[in-house]
């Protein structure tokens, strides 16, 4: 594995398909000769040079811009060569093949000087995420910043883009490192007292170790809250629209999306499979899924759709349980509502559950829409748009979204939240140990909290963690 990380690597760094411009990127040590071989001239450092990219016989493959970034002032911390050509797939494949070929050619100038023509050792195709992995390993980025590169590429909303850019610039990492530095100072204080067992408790009291620990825990809680917002911006939330047939679920999806995505007819059972769309509310992505109406049926296709509906409900962050206000009081309808509510974990007269929002649709078609509704129910009309804004706000409240100033937002991942939660738990246990004067255990809990925070930025990491993270990147990044 270590030898592979010292191999020079090459990849097409732009997305598959045709485009105006495509980029072939090379990273390694000593790329000047390779650059000269592909471009038929030496390249000055950090200057864009226009010219021909040539094959082994000196014939032009294409014309474009070449840039050579000598180490360590490059993205990866190694020499980096970027060839910006026309974005045809065949052109880029020819350039890629030419780089591999040129790496094996002798450097004539070096051969004349030493008599032994050097070759660029084992240039190979890059693995997914390997350019950014090398940037991390060479100290150009920490692990949270490296992950922000992928988050920036995958961002689906403007808020997610800005938050990922803030993480890439180090906003999240700086907050984590500040916590680590404060933990280090507290650990140094505790470790020093362990050498003086007769005076350690008095010394810690005079140094206000408990106060420092409480302040640290409060600061960590604030970072956790912002990280949860960042995770929402990155991952979004899964919202499932559920209910009986013909209550307006598909109309609600269309209204939320602002487009006619789902077929709407008066015929019960029109929707037989899941229909999904990603929308955004205040920059938060919502992955909304319209499902088949929940009912007993003899239709084999519809029965499969109902089973898939329940599967989608089981994995949802929020469920919109849609009621038809025009059918209230009908025995068959009300009894079916009770069955669905019970399966959703709601008592018949219960308010909305932890992840269930009661949505009472077709308010424009009844006289007294608000009478006799479940507590917290949202009254709306998918047709007219009445109540949609209330529903949007309720969805954000459901997942604990709080709008933050733009400078306070950054992206975060599930593993970051888990590491922050472990650190918080260790701080809580540390407080308990301090109260019982078990200073060795107190010191150990502080160390574990410190290590958990280090996992976020890569100060403490395992090789399998790095492999898992960078394998999810695209080729060329």
- Six-digit token string for 74: 């490059």
Judge contact between 313 and 264, C-beta under 8 A: no
CA distance 10 to 24: 7
Note the pLDDT of residue 110: 42
Residue 120 has pLDDT above 70, yes or no: no
Confidence of residue 262 (pLDDT cuts 50, 70, 90): very low
If one compares 202 and 315, the residue with the highest pLDDT of the two is: 315
Instruction: In whole angstroms, give the CA distance from residue 39 to residue 229.
Output: 47
Sheet containing 60-69: which strands, arranged edge to edge?
49-54, 60-69, 79-87, 19-28, 9-12, 124-125
**3-state DSSP helix/strand/coil % of the chain, to nearest 5:** 50, 15, 35
Instruction: Give mean pLDDT, residues 464-474.
Output: 63
Distance between CA atoms of 53 and 62, rounded to whole angstroms?
5
Give the rounded percent of residues in the chain with a pLDDT score beyond 90.
Answer: 41
Q: What is the pLDDT of residues 24-52, one digit of tens each?
A: 999 999 999 999 999 999 999 999 999 99
Span of 180-189, 284-293, 347-356 with lowest mean pLDDT: 347-356
Burial of 185-222, coded b for 16+ CB within 10 Å and e otherwise, reads ebbebbeebeeeeeebeeebeeeebeebbeebbeebee
Domains of the chain, with CATH numbers? 4-139 (3.30.1360.120), 143-458 (3.40.50.300)
What average pLDDT does range 272-290 have in this prediction?
79
Whole-number Å distance between alpha carbons of 339 and 322: 14
- For the CA atoms of 138, 140, 141, 142, what is the dihedral angle to 10 degrees? 50
Contacts of 138 (CB under 8 A, 6+ apart): 72, 76, 77, 78
317 vs 453, higher pLDDT: 453
For 141-185, write each residue's pLDDT tens digit: 999 999 999 999 888 888 889 999 999 999 999 999 999 999 988
pLDDT value of residue 112: 37
Q: Which residues, 6 or more positions from 270, have their beta carbon under 8 angstroms from its beta carbon?
A: 245, 246, 250, 263, 264
Name the 3-class secondary structure at 288.
strand
Residue with tokens 């700086």: 174
Q: Looking at residue 352, what is its pLDDT?
A: 44
Higher-scoring residue by pLDDT: 468, 237? 237
Q: Quick check: 100 pLDDT over 90?
A: yes
pLDDT value at position 426?
Answer: 96
Overall average pLDDT of the 83-92 stretch? 95
Kindly state the tokens that stand for 89.
């797939």
Label residue 293 by pLDDT band (50, 70, 90): confident
Confidence of residue 406 (pLDDT cuts 50, 70, 90): low
pLDDT value, residue 137: 92
More confident residue, 467 or 170: 170
Banded model confidence at residue 248, pLDDT cuts 50, 70, 90: confident
pLDDT of amino acid 178: 95
Higher per-residue confidence, 23 vs 303: 23
Average pLDDT taken over every residue of the chain: 84
Q: Quick one: average pLDDT of 101-105?
A: 86
Q: What is the mean pLDDT of residues 264-276?
A: 54
Q: Of 37-46, 60-69, 249-258, which gets the smallest average pLDDT?
A: 249-258
Q: Is the pLDDT of residue 453 over 90?
A: yes
Residue 291 in contact with residue 312, Cβ under 8 Å? yes
- In which residue are the tokens 């050097």 written? 118
pLDDT band at 347 (very low <50, low <70, confident <90, very high): low
Query: Is residue 313 predicted with pLDDT exceeding 70?
Result: yes
Q: Residue 267: is its pLDDT beyond 80?
A: no
| Per-residue model confidence (pLDDT) at position 437 | 80
Report residue 117's pLDDT band, with 50, 70 and 90 as the boundaries.
very low
Residue with the larger pLDDT of the pair 233 and 169 = 169
């Amino acid at each position: 594995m270590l030898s592979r990380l010292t191999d020079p690597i090459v990849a097409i760094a732009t997305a598959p398909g045709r485009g105006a411009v495509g980029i072939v990127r090379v990273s390694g040590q000593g790329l000047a000769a390779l650059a000269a071989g592909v471009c038929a001239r030496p390249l000055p450092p950090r200057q864009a040079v226009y010219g021909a990219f040539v094959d082994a016989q000196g014939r032009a493959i294409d014309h474009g811009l070449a840039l050579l970034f000598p180490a360590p002032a490059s993205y990866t911390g190694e020499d980096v060569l970027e060839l910006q050509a026309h974005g045809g797939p065949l052109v880029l494949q020819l350039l890629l093949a030419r780089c591999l070929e040129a790496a094996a050619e002798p450097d004539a100038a070096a051969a004349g000087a030493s008599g032994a023509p050097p070759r660029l050792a084992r240039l190979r195709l890059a693995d997914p995420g390997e350019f950014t992995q090398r940037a991390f390993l060479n100290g150009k980025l920490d692990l949270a910043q490296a992950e922000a590169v992928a988050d920036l590429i995958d961002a689906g909303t403007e808020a997610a883009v800005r938050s990922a850019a803030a993480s890439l610039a180090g906003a999240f990492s700086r907050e984590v490192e500040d916590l680590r530095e404060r933990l280090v100072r507290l650990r140094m204080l505790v470790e020093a007292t362990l050498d003086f067992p007769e005076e350690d408790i008095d010394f810690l009291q005079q140094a206000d170790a408990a106060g420092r620990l409480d302040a640290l825990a409060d600061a960590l809680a604030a970072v956790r809250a912002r990280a949860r917002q960042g995770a929402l911006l990155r991952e979004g939330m899964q919202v499932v629209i559920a209910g009986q047939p013909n209550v307006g679920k598909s109309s609600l999806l269309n209204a939320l999306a602002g487009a006619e995505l789902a077929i709407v007819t008066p015929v019960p059972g029109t929707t037989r499979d899941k229909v999904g769309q990603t929308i955004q509310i205040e920059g938060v992505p919502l992955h909304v899924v319209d499902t088949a109406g929940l009912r007993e049926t003899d239709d084999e296709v519809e029965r499969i759709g109902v089973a898939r509906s329940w599967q989608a409900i089981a994995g949802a962050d929020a469920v919109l349980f849609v009621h038809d206000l025009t059918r209230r009081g009908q025995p068959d309808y009300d009894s079916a509502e009770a069955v669905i509510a019970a399966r959703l974990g709601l008592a018949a007269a219960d308010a909305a559950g932890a992840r269930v929002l009661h949505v009472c649709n077709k308010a424009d078609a009844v006289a007294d829409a608000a009478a006799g509704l479940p507590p917290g129910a949202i009254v709306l009309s998918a047709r007219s748009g009445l109540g949609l804004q209330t529903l949007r706000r309720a969805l954000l409240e459901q997942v604990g979204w709080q709008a933050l100033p733009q400078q306070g937002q950054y992206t975060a991942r599930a593993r970051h939240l888990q590491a922050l939660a472990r650190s918080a738990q260790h701080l809580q246990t540390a407080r308990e140990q301090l109260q019982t004067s078990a200073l060795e255990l107190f010191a150990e809990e502080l160390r574990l909290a410190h290590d958990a925070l280090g996992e976020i930025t890569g100060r403490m990491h395992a090789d399998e963690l790095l492999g898992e993270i960078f394998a999810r990147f695209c080729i060329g990044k």
